[in-house]
Amino acid sequence: MDTVLLRSFRTAADLGGFSAAARELGIAQSALSQHIAKLEDRLGVRLFDRAGRGVTLTTAGRALLPRAKRLVDESDSLPMLLREDLHGGRVQLRVGSIPTVSPSLMPGVLAACKAKHPDVSISFSEDTTDRLTGSLLSFDLDLAFMALPVEDERLLYEPIGDERLVLVTPAGDELLGKEMVCAPDLDARGIISLQEPHCLGTHVREFCGRAGVRHSVACRTTQLATIERFVERGLGVSLLPEIGAWQSRSDSLGYRALKETVPPRTIVAVWHADRERDATARCLTTSAREEFGSQIASARAWFAGSAG
Please compute the mean of the pLDDT values over residues 119-126 and round it to a whole number: 85
Q: Determine the residue type at 220.
A: R
According to DSSP, residue 92 is labeled E
Q: What is the dihedral of CA 300, 301, 305, 308, to 10 degrees?
A: 60
Mean of pLDDT over the chain: 84
Please compute Rg for the chain using Cα positions: 31
Cα(121)–Cα(281) distance, integer angstroms: 11
Task: List 193's β-bridge partners, or say none.
Answer: 220
165-256 topology per CATH: D-Maltodextrin-Binding Protein; domain 2 (3.40.190)
pTM of the model: 0.67
**pLDDT tens, position by position, 176-217:** 887 777 777 777 677 888 877 677 777 777 777 776 676 666
Strands 216-221 and 54-57: unpaired
The pLDDT tens digits of the residues spanning 143-160 come to: 999 999 898 999 999 999
pLDDT (average), residues 127-139: 92
Q: For residues 126-163, b (16+ Cβ closer than 10 Å) or e, as one string?
A: bbbbebbbebbeeeebbbbbbbbebeeeebbbeebbeb
Crossing angle of helices 3-15 and 29-43, in 10° steps, is: 110
| CATH number of the 3-77 domain | 1.10.10.10
Q: Which CATH number fits domain 92-161+266-299: 3.40.50.10470, 3.90.15.10, 3.30.420.40, 3.40.190.10?
A: 3.40.190.10
Looking at this protein, which amino acid is placed at residue 295?
Q
Under the banding of pLDDT at 50, 70 and 90, the label for residue 80 is: low
ω before 149 within 30° of 0 (cis)? yes
